[in-house]
Structure 1
Amino acid sequence: MLMQDENEPDESHGPNATHGQDDTSAADVLFPGHDETEKRSPPILEVSSSLSSSGKSQMLYYLTAIAILPREYGGFAVGGHEAAVVFIDTDDRFDAERLRLVARGILQNHMAVISSNVREQLTERPSHHDEEALLVSSLQHVHVFRPQSSAALLATLHSIGPYLFDLSRHRSSSRPLQMIAIDSTTAFIRQDRLRDEVARTEEIGRSREEIESDRENQCRFSLPVLYGQLAKQLKQLQIQFHCSIVYTSVVSGGRPASDLYESQSRFSTLKPALPAPWGTLPTLRLILHRSTVRPFPPSMAPHAAVQDAPSRQKVVQQGKIAAWVNEWDRDGWPRRVVEAVEASNGGSFSFYVLETGVEFDYPDD
C-alpha cells in the first residue's frame, strides 16, 4: 500500500512534477476498487506504540530499503522502486549501518527465493563486492535531516522542496520521491506543551482580540497553530511530490508494560498522541508491540526456571513484532473500510527484527 504502482510512469512522480489536489476518499486510498487505473493519493501512515523499542524505526528502515533498492539486479527482479526517501530524524537515532543491513537482508532473501523458485543456484550470482557497491549506491538516495525542535521541523519541511529541486545538492534527480519518513513526531511534544502552557499563562488578563492577533502574527507560541502548520506543510509536500508519508509516535500512559498487548483483542486501540489537526491527518494508523517474556513466577523452583530459560531466550532472540490496525474512532469509519480490515486478518500481521535485517510474514496467496 505504501509503495507506488509499478505500472505507473515515473515521470509523473519525479522531482520536477507537481500535482493538484486529489479528492480521493480515505477508503479509496486504503482499499482501492475494481478500477485499478483510477488515480489514487498516496497514504499517510502513523506507526505508534505505547512503549519504546517496539519496532517502529525498524519498519521505517524496511520501507526505506524497499524504496531505494533497484527494481532489477543481476538480471533478476528485486522488488525495489529505485526511488528517493527523505528521512527526518527528530530522535537523533538514525543508524545508516542498520539501514544497510536491512537493505542487504532484503536483497539476499529475494535472491534466495529466486534460486529456490528456479530450483537451482543463480549461475551469475553477484559477488559480495558487487552487492556492497549496490547498497552504497542505493543509500545515497536517503536524505537525512535532523531538526532539534518543532520549529526546526517546520523549517525543514519548508526546505525539502528547494533542496530536492536543487539538483547540485544530491544525486536523486532521476528518481521519484517515494516517501517522507519522520521518526518520531512526538520527540518534541513535551517541550511544546510546556511552551504552550507558559504562553497561555502570559495571556491571562489580556483581551481575546489581542490574543488572537498575536497568534495569527506568530508573536507568541501556540501549539495548535504550530501543529496546524506542520500538518499543512506535510500535505502540501505530499501533493507536490505525490509521495507517501510515514511517521512514528509514542503514546504515553496506559497499562503497565507487563500487562500490555497480552492479546490484540484486549488492547486494540491507542488514542493519537498528537493534538489536532494531526488527529485527522493519517490515512491509516498501526500499533506495534514487541513480543514480551513474562518474568519467572516467585513460586517457580530454580530447576524449573533453568529448564524454562531456553524457551524464553528463544522468544527474545526471535525479535517478533506484532502489528495491527489502530481502531481508534472506528465508529466513524466507512463500512467498506471496516469490511476490508476484517477481511485482511483483522488488519493484523507480524514481522521479525533480526541481526541480519527485518523479515515480514507474507500471506501465501
Structure 2
Amino acid sequence: MALGQWIDGDESASEMLGRVLKERTSLVVPPLHRVPLRVGNVVELVGPSGSAKTQILIQAAVNCILPKEWSGIHYGGLGCPAVFIDLDCRLDITRLLQVLKLRIVEATSNGSLSTGDGENFDALYATCLRRFSYIRCYDSFEFLATLKTMHHKLQKERDSLGVGLHLLVIDSIGAYHWVDRISSSLPLWGHNRKGFSLANVLEAAVEEVRKLLLVHPSIVIASKATIFGDRSSDAVKRDKTLSESELKHGKPDGGLGLYREYMPSAWQSFVTHRVFVRNSDEHLKLSSCEHQPTYSSEWLLPSLGFLDKFIVTNAGVFSVP
C-alpha cells in the first residue's frame, strides 16, 4: 500500500511544474540576474561603502512588490510581499517610493493608458505598498526580537493578501559588529545562559531566520560592508584566475582584491550565494552634460569568473555593456 502511494505521488505533473516555476522566480535585478535564485537561498551582497548595495536592495524589493500584470499592463514584478529590515537605520524610504512610482509610470506609458487612469495608478501604488514592510532596528537585541515576533505578523499578512512572503532584505547584517564586540565583556545574566558574544548573537539570528524560512519560504538578501586588510589567516583572497578585465588592465581593476571576513562561521555557512560590488572609476556618458557613475560586480559564490557593470539612475539599477 505504501509503495503504491509512493508511485502515485501527491501532486500532478502540472502542479509540480507550477511549484518549481514559482520557486525559481527571479528578481531580475543587476547583478542578481546572473544566477537563478529560489526560495531558501541566502544571498550576501558584500562591498565597501558607496558601492550601491542599498540601491540594489531597494530595486529587489520594488521588483518583488510590483505585480506581473495589472489592468492589462505588464509590470514584470512578482506581486509578492517583501520585508526590509534596516539595521543601518539610514534607508531613505522616499528613494524606494521614487523608484516604485517611476516603474509604474514607465510601464503605464508603454501600455498607452488613457489620461483618466489616475485612480488606477493610485490603486496600484497602494496595493504595492501594502506588500512592503519596513522595520528599523537599533541594536542586536531589537533585531533578534524582530525575528522572533515576525512569524505572527507574516501570517496575518498572508491571510490578508492571499500570498506569503517572498523576499527578506537585511541591510546591513554586520551593522552591530563593533558594538557587539565591545559588549561581549558584559557579565552573564544567569547560570543557564550563554555569555553575550558576537558569535552567540549571530548564531541566534541565523537560527531565527532559518526557522522563519521553514514556515515562510522566501529569498534572503543581506548586504555587508567590507573590511579591507593585509594578508592573514582570516583574510579572503579572490580566485587566482584573472578575468579578462584584469589581464587588460594589468591589475585586479574592479575585482575583489583582498578583504577580511569578520562575520562568525554561523553566518558564513548560512550564506548560499555571495556577490561583491564596488564603485569603479568609469563614468557612462548619457548626454553631453550628464555622466553616470559606473559600478562593477563579481559573483564569488558561485564563482562565475567575470565582471558585470551597472549604473544607478532615478528609475533604479540597470546593466551596462
Aligned AA (2:165): L
1:139 and 2:139 are equivalent in the alignment? no
Matches within 5 A, 1:120-199: 122=112, 124=114, 127=117, 130-166=120-156, 172-196=160-184, 198-199=185-186
Provide the secondary structure at the position in 2 that maps to 1:291.
strand
Q: Greater share of strand residues, 1 or 2?
A: 2
Q: Which amino acid in structure 1 is aligned with residue 44 of structure 2?
A: E
Alignment counterpart, residue 8 of structure 1, candidates 15, 19, 23: 19
Report if the CA contact (8 A) 1:141-1:171 is conserved: no
Aligned counterpart, 1:297:
none
Q: Which runs of 5+ in 1 are unaligned?
A: 13-29, 33-39, 116-120, 203-210, 256-260, 295-309, 328-336
- In structure 2, relative to structure 1, the CA distance for the partners of 1:268 and 1:253 (3 Å cut) is closer
Write the mapping of 1:216-295 to structure 2, written as runs, cut at 5 A.
Answer: 217-218=193-194, 220-254=195-229, 263-265=253-255, 267-268=256-257, 270-292=259-281
Q: Point out which structure has higher relative CO (alpha carbons under 8 A, 6+ apart).
A: 1
2:294 is aligned, of 294, 303, 320, to: 320
1:111-159 CA distance string (max 9 Å, x none): 56xx4xxxxx726477455334422331122111112111211111001
Query: 2-side partners of 1:278 and 1:262: how far apart?
Result: 27
Amino acid of the structure 2 residue aligned with 1:235: R
Give unpaired runs (5+ residues) of structure 2: 1-15, 24-34, 231-250
Report 1:304-315 matches (<5 A).
314-315=290-291
Alignment partner of 1:93: what SS? Answer: coil
Alpha-carbon displacement from aligned partner over 1:160-214 (angstroms, at most 9, x marks no partner):
10122245xx985322201111111111111101112x24xx7xxxxxxxx9x95
Which structure would you say has the larger Rg?
Answer: 1
Distance in 1, matches of 2:274 and 2:289, equals: 31
RMSD (Å), alpha carbons? 3.6
Q: Provide the residue aligned with 2:68 in structure 1.
A: 71
TM-score by length of 2: 0.72
The question of whether the paired residues in 2 share the 8 Å contact of 1:102 and 1:358 is answered with yes
Q: Which residue of 1 aligns with 2:311?
A: 352
1:89 to 86, 91, 100: 86
- Count of residue pairs the alignment pairs up: 272
